């Protein structure tokens, strides 16, 4: 999936005449697996079957399916659609999509209509904003609200500062600053493809900023990885890439067991070593009992 996304972005942004995926080499402590990337690219091309679990097709609501007459009707109409979809797909090879996220978006947007532009915004525009494919999970929810607010103000004839929609390129800073700016540019591009002209910007403006951020990230990333140094797998203690708590083999074993993904910092190597030998990093019970008898 990630190989397909990277290749597709390279083609869409005209970085190459066709989608291209590569690996970063020459970073101390890291060993990129070119064969794994090649396999992902082959799956993306369709020449190799994917080993990912097959997903059941999902039925998604359209505005015409809801029977809503005004924006305020959308949350309740989505609930009715969800109940209908559960019944309609009970004996079918499809399942109704989860609309709880759309309900949350609609409920977050309705106060903006009342407070900013009145309730004159048409139903179709509100639905397009509700279904805008921008992450709504915290902390990205604030970004979605900012872009929706900017679009509503622009539609009502108010001036929207460009930096509200598209941040400036950081002058300097770590890789994370440029990654955040690139993410903001992608969100802005998504908005501007559906609502061109907000804050006097176009999707091409956002794409240019993302490209500049990507170029700067490419320059900074080798040094940032080398400075961070390789981490240690929290389960077996082998070297892993920075920010990864476990190695690929341990992560795969945990996924097969259904174990939760580790989010904390990797354990120290001596702790991992003691787990491999069956110990717990502290005095053994047998040793403690022998010491008591002495």
**Least reliable range by pLDDT among 82-91, 119-128, 163-172:** 119-128
Residue 280's pLDDT is 42
Residue 103 sits at the vertex; the CA angle it makes with 73 and 61, to the nearest 5 degrees, is 80
Nearest of 138, 143, 106, 144 to residue 125 by alpha carbon: 106
pLDDT of 276 higher than 70: no
Q: For residue 45, how far is the Cα from the chain centroid?
A: 22
What is the per-residue pLDDT across 153-166, written as a single tens digit (0 to 9) for each? 999 889 999 999 99
Lowest-confidence region among 110-119, 170-179, 205-214: 110-119
208 closest CA partner among 190, 186, 180, 191:
186
Tell me how far CA of residue 111 lies from CA of 117, 121, 147, 148, 154, in angstroms: 10, 12, 15, 12, 17
Pairing of strands 231-232, 58-59: unpaired
**For 187-216, what is each residue's pLDDT tens digit?**
999 999 999 999 999 999 999 999 999 999
The Cα 127–Cα 141 span in angstroms is 17
Question: Looking at the chain, how many residues does it have?
Answer: 294
- The per-residue pLDDT for range 70-79, each reduced to its tens digit, is 999 999 999 9
pLDDT at site 187:
95
Supply the pLDDT for residue 138.
86
d(CA 201, CA 205) in angstroms, rounded, equals 6
**DSSP H stretches of helix in 100-198:** 100-112, 123-130, 141-155, 162-165, 175-194
Read off the pLDDT of each residue in 286-290 and give the average, rounded to a whole number.
39
Q: Is the confidence at residue 264, as pLDDT, over 90? A: no
263 or 153: whose pLDDT is higher? Answer: 153
Q: Which residue has the higher pLDDT, 19 or 164?
A: 164
Mean pLDDT of 166-186: 94
Q: To the nearest whole percent, how much of the chain has pLDDT over 90?
A: 47
Query: Which structure tokens are listed for 65?
Result: 């399916």
Q: How far is CA 202 from the centre of its chain?
A: 23
Which pLDDT band, with edges at 50, 70 and 90, does 36 fall under?
Answer: confident
């Amino acid at each position: 999936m990630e190989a397909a996304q990277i290749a597709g972005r390279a083609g869409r942004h005209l970085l190459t005449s066709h989608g291209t995926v590569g690996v970063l080499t020459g970073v101390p402590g890291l060993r990129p697996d070119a064969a794994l990337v090649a396999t992902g690219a082959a799956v993306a091309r369709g020449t190799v079957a994917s080993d990912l679990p097959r997903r059941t097709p999902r039925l998604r609501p359209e505005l015409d399916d809801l029977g809503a007459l005004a924006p305020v009707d959308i949350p309740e109409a989505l609930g009715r659609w969800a109940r209908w979809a559960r019944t309609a797909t009970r004996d079918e090879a499809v399942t109704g999509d989860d609309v709880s996220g759309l309900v949350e978006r609609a409920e977050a947007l309705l106060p903006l209509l009342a407070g900013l532009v009145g309730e004159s915004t048409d139903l179709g525009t509100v639905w397009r904003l509700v279904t805008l494919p921008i992450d709504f999970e915290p902390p990205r929810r604030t970004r979605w609200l900012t872009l929706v607010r900017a679009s509503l103000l622009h539609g009502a004839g108010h001036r929207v500062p460009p930096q509200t929609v598209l941040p400036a390129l950081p002058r300097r800073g770590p890789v994370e600053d440029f990654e955040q700016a690139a993410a903001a540019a992608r969100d802005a591009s998504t908005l501007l493809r559906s609502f061109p002209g907000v804050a006097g910007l176009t999707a091409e403006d956002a794409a240019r900023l993302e490209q500049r951020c990507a170029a700067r990230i490419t320059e900074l990333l080798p040094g940032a990885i080398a400075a961070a140094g390789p981490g240690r797998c929290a389960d077996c203690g082998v070297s892993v890439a920075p920010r990864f708590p476990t190695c690929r083999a341990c992560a795969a074993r945990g996924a097969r067991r259904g174990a939760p993904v580790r989010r904390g910092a990797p354990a120290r190597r001596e702790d991992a070593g003691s787990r491999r030998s069956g110990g717990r990093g502290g005095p053994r019970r047998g040793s403690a009992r022998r010491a008591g008898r002495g």
